[in-house]
Amino acid sequence: MEKEITSIESNQRIQVLDQLRGFALLLIFLMNLPALSRISFHYTDTLIPALRDDSVLTNFLLHLLRLLFENSSRPLFAFMFGISMVLIYDNVKRRGKNPFFTLFRRMFVLMLIGYIHFSFIWHGDILLMYALAGFILLLFISMSAWPLLLFTLLSTLLFNEMQSGILMYIDEESFNLSEGIQFNITHMIKNLFWWGTDYSFDSNPIVKKLLYQFQFVLPHLFFFLAGMLAYRLNIFGRLPRYRVAGWMIAIVLLAAGIYGKKRILDIETSFWALDNENLINFSVSLGIAFVIILMSSSRRMSILTRPFAAVGRMAFTNYLLQSLVFVSIFIPSGESFFRDHGLINQMPYTILLLLSLIFFGLQMWGSHIWLRHFHYGPFEWLWRWGTNLKLPPMRRKLPAAKENT
């Protein structure tokens, strides 16, 4: 029986990629938690957000999570998205099929689901942006390592401040970008693609929602291309062979990134930190990726990373489930479900964080159980169906001995 052209056989699957994806999903969940639960927060004098309980523990946890993972979780996920794009491209090409048509359909299905999620469930959706980025990545997908390295470096030079440039174009005369070429690109996008002055989602057409998400593509392009480059350089295969050097590089990346993020969080921050924020955030992302790769290749340490594999294989489904559950529960004030049912009058951040960890633990357990009986998660199955234009097998076949009992 001919297998689906995007299917990656179990003996070819890079287990560490699933583990990395699962860990990144946890980080994204933790960073999105205040917005997902719709709990308002204010900022203290040190720019550390404090929720309504404003306790010492809350401020400590928020500061620690921001320092370690804020603006580094999405780059990590984008990094792996780039890896997955090249992995699928090579597998489809190896089967003698056209990988561009396959990946185009794959991104189109992701764009449809992301648009629905963004429009009707949660405004913090990343799927739509990733789909739009995927279309651009098709321009680079067939490149070897050296051209990819050139475009990866070029992307961070051109688009390091693109996001802030587009968001602040309304006051562009008083906003001075250091890169002249970046200002020109920002100005071109504004004039060519953004019509009218009404920026509310309720009154904007579909194209404006797509362009709103597109403004986040260019600042993330470096992370996507870096993932594609890492795959072409076979980082997953080479790094475990040089464990000592790998650990040293991971520690340096984490230390440099965390130091830079601390400077960014400080009130009297230096301009070098702000000017290199993309690289600083990605330094932490890459350090985390190296740590997971090295741990997963160790017999003793892989026990800590293996539980993330199942939830990573179902990352699409689990990501949508996180937003659906938490947005549904925390409506409209961020504590109404619990307050209306007499469970708790106010939701402290510490309890909210505990609930999220419990929920993610249930997702890890549920994903493991689900994959015992099914090949894919529900949305992964739907995504594969739309990609291949034919129904993939869902339920795993039981061994003959079990079928006869």
50 bridge partner residues: 42
Rounded (10°) angle between helices 127-137 and 99-120: 160
Q: Fill in the amino acid letter for 49.
A: P
pLDDT tens-digit readout, 182-196:
445 545 554 554 444
Residue 372 is inside which H or E element, if any? helix 349-373
- Tell me the C-alpha distance between 362 and 379, whole Å: 18
Mean pLDDT, the chain, whole residue set = 78
Residues ≥6 apart with Cβ < 8 Å to 166: 186, 189, 190, 215
pLDDT tens-digit readout, 149-175:
999 988 877 766 443 433 333 334 333
Confidence band, pLDDT 50/70/90 cuts, at residue 404: very low
pLDDT of residue 189: 52
Tokens at 387, concatenated: 């990609």
What b/e string do you get for 344-361 counting C-beta neighbours within 10 Å, with b at 16 or more?
eeebbbeebbebbeebbe
Grouping H, G, I as helix, E, B as strand and the rest as coil, residue 374 is strand
Contact at 8 Å (CB) between 286 and 246? no
Chain centroid, CA 99 distance in Å: 23
Distances (CA, A) of 35 to 44, 50, 75, 191, 384: 18, 13, 19, 31, 30
Eight-class DSSP state of 43: E
Contact at 8 Å (CB) between 223 and 82? yes
Of 261 and 247, the one with more pLDDT: 247
Confidence band, pLDDT 50/70/90 cuts, at residue 58: confident
- Tell me the C-alpha distance between 109 and 382, whole Å: 9
Q: How many residues does the chain have?
A: 405
pLDDT of residue 170: 36
Nearest CA to 298 out of 250, 239, 245 is that of 239
pLDDT, mean of residues 279-301: 91
pLDDT tens-digit readout, 299-336:
889 999 999 999 999 999 999 999 988 887 775 544 55
Q: Fill in the amino acid letter for 43.
A: Y
Residue 283 is inside which H or E element, if any? helix 277-296
Contact at 8 Å (CB) between 22 and 363? no
Residue 294 is inside which H or E element, if any? helix 277-296
Chain centroid, CA 133 distance in Å: 12
- Tell me the C-alpha distance between 232 and 85, whole Å: 11
pLDDT tens-digit readout, 348-403:
788 888 999 999 999 999 999 999 999 999 999 999 999 988 889 999 876 544 44
Residues ≥6 apart with Cβ < 8 Å to 15: 296, 309
Contact at 8 Å (CB) between 296 and 305? yes
pLDDT, mean of residues 83-98: 92
- Tell me the C-alpha distance between 111 and 117, whole Å: 10
- Tell me the C-alpha distance between 300 and 201, whole Å: 50
- Tell me the C-alpha distance between 42 and 204, whole Å: 29
Nearest CA to 294 out of 250, 234, 258, 256 is that of 250
